[in-house]
Structure 1
Amino acid sequence: MPLLSDFMLSVLPTDYIPKYLKSYIPGETPLSTWPVVTTALASYLAIIFGIREIMKDRPPQQLNTLFRIHNAFLSLGSFILLVFMAEEVGSIWLTSTTYGTMCDETSWTEKLEFYYMINYYFKYIELLDTVFLALKKKPLAFLHVFHHSATALLCFAQLNGKTSVSWVVISLNLLVHVIMYYYYFATAGGARIWWKKYLTSMQIIQFIIDIVIVYFGTYQHYAATHYNHLPHWSNCAGTETAALFGCGLLTTYLGLFVNFYIQTYKKPAKGKKPVANGNANGHAHNGNSYKKD
């Protein structure tokens, strides 16, 4: 029985919260339709490139306090959300099988859907990473901008498609973000951390696990619904559009991050040291290193 989430619900005035904020209702829940989402992401692109143009003849902004608050919020928020999700997934697993926990329709619970919504909204808060980069006059690398935009779309697509394996991908992403945003918070305060290179390695491992899981779930779905002669257990819940979009985007992420790792840490330019300090948007996205999802 999920004790933490039950306690949270008991102390919050949930009776006064509209249903579309507690459950994902397309067309009613904020940022739940394609026109709204595409407009929001187009606005993000216009804002960051607009800021870059405005800052061309201006000195870079420091914004250190705001930057630290932003990263502390996302690190702590990711940790709290991860704990609540782990509790709910654990309760499902105790009454099901490992496969069932990943693939049964019943694994898409009301609580997990609510947590997925919060994670989705985090993706829009994370867009501020790029605003900080632009104001600090750091390079806006393709990997950074693409990753931020596409990850918001990915979360949106999975909410609409109700893909039951979503908790695996989101949980790994939250774990990485707890560590990554802490890294940015700490280094912005002057801490010298030796393991920044391994953030990218962690993200690559994350994507490998993601791909194995989502390809496995997609195979199970297609085998159960279209190619029953193929060996499979049972259907893996979720729409085919969401599953294929997830497979394609996560595969793209893996390729981009592996390429980034090679270019940053394995192939220094002739006569130059590897760019490991993140001036080219290292392993995370805040200008010190690149960031994931």
Structure 2
Amino acid sequence: MLAAHASPVYDTLSAVLPRVLPAFLGRNEALVRWIPGQTPWSTAPAVAATGAIYLTVIHGGRALQKRFGLKPLQIKGIFVAHNIMLSLMSGLLLAAFLEEIIPIWSQHGFYHAICARESWTPTMETLYIINYMMKYLELIDTVFMMLKGKPMPFLHVYHHSATALLCFSQLLGKTSVSWVVITLNLFVHLIMYAYYALTTLRIPCPWKRAVTTMQIVQFILDLSIVYFATWEFFTTYFNSSLPQWGHCPAAVPHAAISGVIILSSYLLLFISFYARTYNKPAKRAAARVAEKQPLLAEKSQGSATGHLRPPHADHDARKRPTTPQLEHAI
């Protein structure tokens, strides 16, 4: 049994939220306990419908922009406020998770914290639900990208929609190991959304590479622990004679399977993104070679025809844009 412990962040949120939010949010029991059919997005049809609406809005909006030549919207203020809000919410929720899970870990050990049914406490369930609700709020990220005329990479769209599905499956399965994935994700989001807000305000913030690195490290840690917990669950579930440490319970096997599949896909996609974005020495070298070739050709042509180039010609040529589209526009 878990000894009593201080929860100042959770207690403060419990006192403040009912006063700030409308009554149907702040005092709704279905937001405190997972009640299928009553808690928002607690059924498969509701999750699927929201996903369909999300994809329709972002792709349909982009199609309308192209069809009618609509200009990107200037929504800097709203975008900054959105990112600051999500950064603050991630920080507060992370603190609430830590003040609940650290006593469990310290009193009973890490294995108990990730595997025992007792680690799925009523407070943890409430925090899991709040985190799940935030995943739908984060879908607005992509809507902003569409409205601003920015590219919507597959990694971004997939990650946002699949994360909501992942949280849904873990709430159904009541998997105690969920806090590992969620706390690491909240830490990354605390920094990531602050980065978005600062860069939008034109404040120098050299965190881009660090944020991507943290995301990759996050998924490696997630998978290491989730794979271990999944092994423990299935060796007991199938009454296997394979070696195991103990037993990691889950109400349904699909919670363990979906967690492994989705997290594994994240890791592969983010590694691919990192490689494309930051490992480009060959591309940069090729661009420098391509920039020099026109100059060499012009010098050779001038020598062959006997025409002398003015002293500043090479300097001016280097100023020319090397992008083919811009060259054609000159």
- Same topology, TM > 0.5: yes
More helix by share: 2
- In the aligned structure 1, how far is the partner of 2:212 from the partner of 2:16? 39
1:260 to 273, 276, 292: 273
RMSD: 1.8
1:250 to 250, 263, 280: 263
Confirm whether residue 2 of structure 1 aligns to residue 34 of structure 2: no
Q: Contact 2:80/2:197 (CA < 8 Å) preserved in 1? A: yes
* Length-normalised TM-score, structure 1: 0.88
Shift of the 41–12 alpha-carbon distance from structure 1 to 2, 3 Å rule, reads closer
Counterpart residue identity of residue 178, structure 1: L
Give the deviation of 1:92 after TM superposition.
1.5
2:145 to 133, 145, 149: 133
- In the aligned structure 1, how far is the partner of 2:118 from the partner of 2:178? 13
Q: Deviations over 1:105-150 (max 9, x none)?
A: 0000111111111111111111111011101111111111111111
Give the deviation of 1:50 after TM superposition.
1.5
Q: Contact 1:2/1:91 (CA < 8 Å) preserved in 2? A: no
SS of the equivalent of 1:27 reads coil
Shift of the 220–44 alpha-carbon distance from structure 1 to 2, 3 Å rule, reads same
Q: Contact 1:134/1:140 (CA < 8 Å) preserved in 2? A: yes
- In the aligned structure 2, how far is the partner of 1:48 from the partner of 1:157? 24
What is the correspondence of 1:56-205 to structure 2 with a 5 Å cutoff? Answer: 56=66, 57-205=69-217
- In the aligned structure 1, how far is the partner of 2:168 from the partner of 2:111? 24
Bigger relative contact order, structure 1 or 2 (CA pairs below 8 A, ≥6 apart)? 1
Shift of the 121–12 alpha-carbon distance from structure 1 to 2, 3 Å rule, reads closer
1:211 to 223, 226, 240: 223
- In the aligned structure 2, how far is the partner of 1:237 from the partner of 1:113? 16
Shift of the 216–183 alpha-carbon distance from structure 1 to 2, 3 Å rule, reads same
Q: Contact 1:104/1:236 (CA < 8 Å) preserved in 2? A: yes
Give structure 1 regions of 4+ aligned residues with deviation exceeding 3 angstroms: 6-16, 267-273
Stretches of structure 2 that go unaligned for 5 or more consecutive residues are 289-330
Give the deviation of 1:264 after TM superposition.
1.2
Q: Contact 2:7/2:100 (CA < 8 Å) preserved in 1? A: no
- In the aligned structure 1, how far is the partner of 2:163 from the partner of 2:209? 22
Give the deviation of 1:19 after TM superposition.
1.9
Give the deviation of 1:39 after TM superposition.
0.2
1:24 to 28, 34, 39: 34
Counterpart residue identity of residue 7, structure 2: L
Counterpart residue identity of residue 218, structure 2: Q
